[in-house]
């Protein structure tokens, strides 16, 4: 660790998809179904391409690259509607997510910095009973650029009134690691098993854990 000691950790910033909820495959299924229904051109790398994008970015990608005839705002609205329906039926919480949030919330202020749309962030935290635990939540649709740009993490730190260098980000994806690191944060990686990050991306993280059960106070302090 650098000259900073463990006491300089002042806030924790969680990603949502792949960290708190096991949702990447749901995003994939919903967007692929919509593209195929509307006569678009889905391809095998589409989901990887869209991971971390803001809603404005991925809806434009679906329109321009995947050939969906609907406008980007209409695409975003429809995808969010289908995601909300799925979450209300059964919320795919990651194993140990609630307990990990509760553990850390007793010691540091928490934020969510997510590529999900605002309505989905609010719905997930409400259903999971975690909304009260987060001082700040921010969607990448509320900043200029999505991940891997640092905008969403920088804005989370700004709203927490904490310098990013005193924040630890909890992430699962390649673009998430790069985003948080570019913002100046230390990064704890819990790699997504379905869409594993490459070694180059993992090289920027401070700590790699294999589950949320390992996300303890000691693990954060060692990051």
- Average pLDDT rounded to a whole number, residues 140-152: 95
The pLDDT of residue 200:
81
Mean local confidence (pLDDT), 13-38: 95
Residue 148 C-alpha from the chain's centroid: 11
DSSP one-letter code for 218: H
* Cα-to-chain-centroid distance, residue 206: 18
Predicted local confidence at residue 58, as pLDDT: 96
The CATH architecture that domain 24-89 belongs to is Orthogonal Bundle (1.10)
Torsion 189-17-11-150 (CA) sign: positive
> Does the pLDDT value for residue 79 go beyond 90?
yes
pLDDT at 7: 56
Cα separation, 217 vs 196, in Å, equals 25
DSSP character string of 101-161:
HHHHHTTS-EEEEESS-HHHHHHHHHHHT-GGG-SEEEEGGGSS--TTSSHHHHHHHHHHT
Question: Under 8 Å CB-to-CB from 5, ≥6 apart: which residues?
Answer: none
Sequence-ordered list of residues with C-beta below 8 angstroms from that of 53, at least 6 positions apart, any chain: 61, 115, 140, 146, 147
Residue 123 pLDDT exceeds 80: yes
Q: In whole angstroms, what is the distance from residue 183 CA to residue 11 CA?
A: 14
Section 175-189 average pLDDT: 96
pLDDT at 2: 42
User: pLDDT at residue 207 above 80?
Assistant: yes
| Residue extents of the structural domains in the chain | 6-22+92-222, 24-89
- Model confidence, pTM: 0.90
Q: For 46-77, how does the pLDDT look when each residue is reduced to its tens digit (9 = 90+)? A: 988 998 898 999 999 999 999 999 999 999 99
Question: In whole numbers, what is the pLDDT of the chain averaged over residues?
Answer: 93
Which position has the higher pLDDT, 26 or 2?
A: 26
pLDDT of residue 196: 81
Q: Among the CATH numbers 3.30.450.20, 3.40.50.720, 3.40.50.300, 3.40.50.1000, which is that of 6-22+92-222?
A: 3.40.50.1000
Give the pLDDT confidence of 80-116 residue by residue, as tens digits.
999 999 999 999 999 999 999 999 999 999 999 999 9
Residue 201 — very low, low, confident or very high, per pLDDT cuts 50/70/90?
Answer: confident
**Residue 13 pLDDT > 70:** yes
Indicate if the pLDDT at residue 3 is higher than 80.
no
């Amino acid at each position: 660790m650098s000259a900073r000691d463990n006491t300089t950790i002042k806030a924790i910033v969680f990603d949502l998809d792949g960290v708190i909820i096991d949702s990447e495959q749901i995003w994939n299924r919903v967007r692929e179904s919509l593209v195929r229904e509307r006569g678009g051109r889905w391809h095998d790398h589409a989901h990887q391409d869209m991971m971390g994008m803001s809603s404005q970015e991925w809806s434009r990608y679906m329109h321009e690259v995947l050939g969906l005839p609907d406008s980007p705002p209409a695409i975003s609205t429809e995808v969010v509607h289908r995601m909300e329906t799925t979450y209300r039926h059964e919320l795919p919480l990651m194993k140990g997510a609630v307990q990990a949030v509760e553990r850390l919330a007793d010691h540091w202020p928490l934020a969510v910095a997510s590529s999900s749309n605002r309505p989905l962030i609010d719905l997930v935290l409400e259903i999971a009973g975690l909304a009260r635990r987060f001082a700040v939540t921010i969607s990448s649709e509320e900043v200029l650029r999505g991940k891997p740009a640092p905008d969403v993490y920088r804005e989370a730190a700004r709203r927490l009134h904490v310098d990013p260098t005193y924040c630890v980000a909890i992430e699962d994806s390649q673009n998430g690691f790069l985003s948080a690191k570019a913002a100046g944060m230390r990064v704890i990686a819990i790699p997504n098993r379905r869409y594993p990050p490459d070694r180059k991306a993992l090289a920027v993280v401070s700590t790699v854990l294999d589950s949320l059960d390992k996300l303890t106070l000691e693990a954060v302090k060692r990051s």
